[in-house]
Chains A and B, each alone.
Chain A
Amino acid sequence: MAIRFILLVNKQGQTRLAQYYEYLTLEERRALEGEIVRKCLARTEQQCSFVEHRNYKIVYRRYASLFFLVGVDNDENELAILEFIHLVVETMDRHFRNVCELDIMFHLETAHFMLEEMVMNGCIVETSKTNILTPIQLMDKAS
């Protein structure tokens, strides 16, 4: 297991997208989201993008009002995950044209589907934007 969860949270700490790759009960999720949001959102631009939490790490990145938080094992390559976040954002950008919080909120389905194409069971499946987006475009055409 490499990636434990991916969270998208806005400045106010509201969860906009959550995908867990290990099972946590609802209470555990609530507690975890609360704790890490408190920890990460308080950090400044001059601080590094890694926060140690319990027995794992959070790698995070901020884009305007949205924070992307990825929980990973301690032996994971932090910078690779940091750039993976950017790859997710670029992929969303290509699809939504300048993605913003509302796109993700109101296209929950597409956002989930995109993540599914990129990460499975905590491992990276695909890093080619074209390959990630092809099935989504097909789906859009179909409906």
Chain B
Amino acid sequence: MALLGMRGLSVFISDVRNCQNKEQERLRIDKELGNIRTRFKNEKGLTPNEKKKYVWKMLYIYMLGYDVDFGHMEALSLISAPKYPEKQVGYIVTSCLLNESHEFLRMVINTVRNDIIGRNETFQCLALTMVGNIGGKEFAESLAPDVQRLLISSSCRPLVRKKAALCLLRLYRKNPDVVNIDGWSDRMSQLLDERDLGVLTSVMSLFVALVSNNNEAYWNCLPKCAKILERLARNQDIPQEYTYYGIPSPWLQVKTMKALQYFPTVEDPNTRRALFEVLQRILMGTDVVKNVNKNNASHAVLFEALALVMHLDAEKEMMSQCVALLGKFIAVREPNIRYLGLENMTRMLLITDVQDLIKRHQAQIVTSLKDPDISIRRRALDLLYGMCDVTNAKDIVEELLQYLSTADFVMREELALKAAILAEKFAPDLSWYVDVILQLIDKAGDFVSDDIWYRVVQFVTNNEDLQPYAAAKAREYLDKPALHETMVKVSAYILGEYSHLLARRPGCNPKEIFTIINEKLPTVSKPTVAILLSTYAKILMHTEPSDPELQEQIWAIFRKYESYIDVEIQQRAVEYFVLSRKGAALADVLAEMPKFPERQSALLKKAEDAEVDTAEQSAIKLRSQQQTSNALVVTDQQPVNGPLPINQLGLVRIPSQKMEASSHNQGLTKENGAVSKVDPEPAPSADFLGDLLGPLAIEGPPAATVSAEQNMISGLEATPNAADALALATVGDQSNSVQPIVNIAERFHALCLKDSGVLYEDPYMQIGIKSEWRAHHGHLVLFLGNKNTSPLLSVRAVILPPTHLKVELSLVPETIPPRAQVQCPLEVVNLRASRDIAVLDFSYKFGTTVVSVKLRLPAVLNKFLQPKSVSAEEFFPQWKSLSGPPLKLQEVVRVVKPMSLPEMTNLFTSLHLGVIPGLDTNSNNLVSCTGFYSESTRAMLCLIRVETDPSDRTQLRITIASGDPTLTFELKEFIKEHLINIPTPTPAPAPSPALAAAALQPQSPITRAGYTDPGVMLAGLL
């Protein structure tokens, strides 16, 4: 046994096991760590066997969750041991304790390479496994050819080749260039002829990675995959060792079907026929059996086959069969199958138009919403949300409402949000919508976010027919004994605006309304008090003829709050008091709220932003793509230029073909946090400001009339809040009917650090990018891929370059044929240092849908950097000669992302800032040197020194020197952006005029006009 001769290890493990509590364990482990440390220090006395023992102890301690920050060298050194047992421990423990960013992993590259190219098979396997698990970019560069050779070698045994395949997969992920596509499609095709199923399992994983990146290059492998699946499914020539409970390797079957899902279609009729035959067999021939393992394995294959059919069956030959199967599954007792049935139904909705087939199972799905298992309940909720449309919205939403009262707390918010969205999107009539939202607030007030009640107010305001109904409903709720505060807010708001429409009904005269609302006043929080004050002012205004008694009561309240501690409330009380003494003028000032501009639901946006799992997210996306919604769906039309058209007709549905949101800005606002979201559109009119976020805004008469009243409000000054509210009022209205299915900001950031990858993807198209950088030149290729079977039309791409870049984009074809990819080269010349970013303004038409996006191009500062390694003799004279600002700048940076020096080194390396180890005598410092290339500076050396404080990783001091003041400054800011905690993207230059306009809104003429408007002003104060 391998552990023989390591008695100490067993003793230690059992000591730890016998510890009575965490404290004892900690003490025992500290003692052991001390012991290991001393042993390692006087290394002379350590035999390889002892070393092995201590390294295992370290691994054990690490596994228990204790930090082991020493001894890595000892583990590494075992790799170089000549004997197998030590070498093996070295490799295994190294892959567990270290990761690719560890500096000294580099030191063993040579040893590892020798093991890989050596003759000893077991050594080869060990080395390949470690590289396959933790190898980084440097490994990719130095080992890829050797690993490839092993994989395709005919003299190599399967046990080595299977590891070589997965090792190559790792290296390919670290550096895609290690696999040359032209040569590899043929090679891959040969590899798929492999008979050994172990090798084939690994090769298939490698293939999936390659084909997922570029399916076109591997067309020739498609028939091979179909053959493999056929061989497995028909159990032809499968060794006993690779059958699992009588099923030929279910894992390989699943993997092969995954690979096939990366091909958009199967064109060759013979392959297609053969493949569908196999799939049909799987679909029909899988029976439920007693043995759990066999049952699971066969259903694993079945579910993958279902996924493949959904993907390939464009003609829907087998689709109803699939839905029938899934329908069966969601009703079985076995919870795993139920879960997967629901999950796959949701996936199915995303892929094809099978809504009607799935609707037949609605009752069963609703039952699953009450399943004892939360995993299943979640799936059911997601599916109900996905399958909801006009025809079943009433049923589904009512089920959700009913479930709300008993649902787990963790699900309630999501449930409330989803119910609200569905009610809004598919309401058969508006009064039903109002009912739903009020019920929602009543049942789960704590989980109803402000957005939801703002939205209902918006609808009521925009629909005159709805106003009396909503007011009556609000009045009804006020009779309830215990009322959620949100209900108080929404009722008070609606009654303030529209209670006069009810005046003739019993219990609804102004005085009664006031009394019942006022009962809530003593118990509500400050924001609600503010709303109530506005309601009182409105009630007063609507009281015709005036009622002196009521007036006195309300005035008394205003006076009471005149000296209230909260400024907002105080100000309202003072103003309303003064205003309400103006008599007739009051009616002008406190006129009814104007209609809100039409826009996309902030709820949908919120749902998209919310951190939800992928399936859920895609369901939401699916919803937003569907155009089957009815009258309630409000979409915003944002023309590129010109003012925002305000749809006075209210809720007439605008077909969802608009899409003017710049994803770029979405990314931006997201990252900047919630405080100051900006809209690229200059606010076109004051109406813009009277948005929901100022639901209390008391709209004044048109500006002309306002001037007459101006003296009255001259005492009012715009508070800083006004600016915030302005910015906030424009949140959430950039949205597309077509949503990207990748995180654009993330993609951009990833591409800043690497040279190829996907920049953008939506359901119709994908934009990939590949770039090469040489000195101050960049050569980029945009890959525009059409994912559909119909062409993309009116394709337009324009680059909006910042002033420091010269960008030339070759002609972009107007049409992208079905399933085709076009390449558009793009040349970039860097003129000088700047952190500004070029933007790709891209649009196309799919059917009637116009999609337009703005994407940041990863032609960023670090692309024009090349790490330099200089010696101390070269470095220090340079460092000294560049003294003081503006050539040398120093800054203490705080709120730094805490990272260890190796992590920071890694970051710097990825930014092309070559770190030079050992140049600084202080080991806590990091010195780096890089060359910057631009047309104005040509090649210029930049020297960087970072001083860190080991006791406080959140701050550091950075010094940067170069021969160009702009460069020094820009580079310093650039590095800071990557170091500090909140990733602050540089604003793209292209939309900057608009951004600036938005940011400067308080000073812009439009807004200034807005300021003279008391309604807006009050809105601003909110």
Contact = CB atoms under 8 A, between A and B. Distances in A.
A50 B251 contact: no
B254 interface: yes
> Do most interface residues of chain B lie in helix, strand or loop, or is the interface mixed?
helix
B132 A127 contact: no
Interface in B144-193: 159, 162-163, 166-167, 169-170
Interface in A36-77: 43, 46-52, 55, 74, 77
A26 B67 contact: yes
Contacts, number: 179
B241 A128 contact: yes
B13 interface: yes
Contacts of A107: 1-3
Contacts of A135: 122, 125, 159
Given A77-B300, A83-B293, A143 B1 contact: yes
Interface in A103-132: 105-110, 112-113, 116, 120-121, 123-131
A40 to B, nearest CB: 11
A11 interface: no
B88 interface: yes
22 contacts: A15-B63, A15-B64, A23-B100, A23-B134, A26-B65, A26-B67, A47-B335, A49-B335, A74-B613, A79-B336, A80-B297, A109-B3, A109-B89, A110-B1, A121-B169, A121-B170, A123-B202, A126-B198, A126-B201, A128-B241, A139-B85, A143-B85
A143 B2 contact: yes
A82 interface: yes
Interface stretch (B368-376, B751-759, B840-848): B368-376
Contacts of B241: 128-131
Given A121-B132, A125-B163, A130-B241, A50 B339 contact: yes
Interface string B327-370: 00000000110111000000000000000000000000000000
Contact of B133 (A21, A52, A126): A21
A126 to B, nearest CB: 5
A124 B201 contact: yes
A57 to B, nearest CB: 9
Interface of B: 1-5, 10, 13-14, 17, 56, 59-60, 62-67, 84-85, 88-89, 92, 96, 99-101, 122, 125, 129, 132-134, 159, 162-163, 166-167, 169-170, 197-198, 201-202, 205, 239, 241-242, 244, 249-252, 254-255, 258, 293, 296-297, 299-300, 303-304, 335-336, 338-340, 372-373, 375-376, 378, 613-615
Given A113-B92, A123-B202, A23 B99 contact: yes
Most B CB contacts (10 A, CB to CB) among A19, A74, A79, A124 go to A79
B296 A82 contact: yes
A124 B2 contact: no
A125 B162 contact: yes
Interface of A: 2, 14-15, 17-19, 21, 23, 26, 29-30, 33, 43, 46-52, 55, 74, 77-80, 82-84, 86-87, 105-110, 112-113, 116, 120-121, 123-131, 135, 138-140, 142-143
Contacts of B159: 131, 135
Nearest to A110: B2
Contact of B336 (A29, A33, A78, A139): A78
Nearest to A132: B198
A139 B122 CA distance: 10
B84 A52 contact: no
Which 7 pairs show the lowest CB-CB distances between chains A and B? A79-B300, A48-B335, A128-B241, A23-B99, A123-B205, A80-B300, A47-B373
A84 B250 CA distance: 9
Contacts of B375: 47-48, 50-52
Contacts of B10: 106
A142 to B, nearest CB: 6
Contact of A49 (B1, B89, B167, B336): B336
Contact of A17 (B63, B293, B297, B615): B63
Nearest to B100: A23
A127 B244 contact: yes
Nearest to B92: A112
B198 A48 contact: no
Contact of A74 (B99, B162, B198, B615): B615
Contacts of B169: 121, 123
A74 B2 contact: no
Nearest to A16: B63
Nearest to B131: A121
A142 B125 contact: no
A46 B92 CA distance: 38
Given A23-B100, A49-B336, A50-B336, A83 B202 contact: no
A47 B372 contact: yes
B92 A48 contact: no
Contacts of B163: 120, 125
A15 to B, nearest CB: 6
A6 B255 CA distance: 19
A113 B2 CA distance: 11
A141 to B, nearest CB: 10
Contacts of A46: 335, 372-373
A47 to B, nearest CB: 4
Contacts of A130: 241
A43 B66 CA distance: 28
B641 to A, nearest CB: 39
A24 to B, nearest CB: 9
B335 A83 contact: no
A79 B340 contact: yes
A84 B296 CA distance: 10
Given A15-B65, A48-B338, A127-B249, A120 B132 contact: yes
Contacts of B4: 143
B296 to A, nearest CB: 5
B201 A78 contact: no
Given A50-B339, A120-B129, A127-B201, A79 B3 contact: no
Contacts of A55: 613-614
Nearest to A52: B613
B574 to A, nearest CB: 50
